[in-house]
Amino acid sequence: MDFKVIWSDQAIEDLREQCAYVGSRDPEAALRMGNGILDHVQILAQFPFIGPPYPRGTRGPLREIVFRSYRIFYDVNEESRRVDILHVRHGARDEPVL
């Protein structure tokens, strides 16, 4: 049984900001990047523990996966079979507050 992937409001806003930034220079690249991230995250429904632990989370060890230059931070709840996407950050930016 697959896990349900849930995007937090902050992760949605992060993705929106990333797409707007890229889109100001190249709208087609922004569309490819945004769709690529959305598609890439879907792997977590079947393989929620694929990303390495990210030990700086306030709720215990979180995880992250990478799509091109973007880091996607998430939390796995085994009891509810849920993956919460918390942040989407460009790798050149500072660490997120989790």
Percentage above 70 pLDDT, the chain: 91
Name the pairing type of β-strands 4-7 and 82-90. parallel
Query: What is the layout of strands, in order, in the sheet containing 70-77?
Result: 4-7, 82-90, 70-77, 62-67, 53-54
84 found inside a domain: yes
pLDDT at 61: 74
- Give residue-wise pLDDT tens across range 22-59: 999 999 999 999 999 999 999 999 999 999 888 765 66
Q: Is 98 inside any structural domain?
A: no
pLDDT score at 41: 97
Q: Give the relative orientation of helices 27-41 and 9-23 as an angle to the nearest 10 degrees.
A: 150
As a whole number, mean pLDDT of residues 68-90 equals 94
pTM of the predicted model as reported, rounded to 2 decimal places: 0.88
CATH of the domain at 11: 3.30.2310.20
Domain that holds residue 29: 4-90
* Residue 97 falls inside a structural domain: no
